[in-house]
Structure 1
Amino acid sequence: MTEEEIHLHQKFFENCAKDYRNLAKELIFMLVEIKKIKLNEDFPFLTFNKLKENPKLSRGKVQDWNFFIHGYHCHFIHIKTRHEVEAPFMFGMDFSDLDPYFFLLFIETNPAYQPLPFNIRDKFKDGEKVLKIMLELGLFEKINSNIEEHSGIAVKDREKIQIKLYNEEMDKIGNKTKFNLKPV
Structure 2
Amino acid sequence: MIASGTLIDMAAGEWVAGDEVSRTFVSVDAEELATRASEALASGDDSEALRLANDALELEHKSSLSWRILAYCLGSMGRHFDAIDCALSAVRYGSHDAINHYTHAWALRGAQKPNEALTAIDEALDINPDFPDALSMRAVLRRELGDHEGSIADMRKAKSFDGHRH
| TM-score, with structure 2 as normaliser | 0.33
Greater per-residue strand proportion: 1
- Structure number with greater Rg is 2
Q: Which has the higher contact order (CA 8 A, sep 6+)?
A: 1
Greater per-residue helix proportion: 2
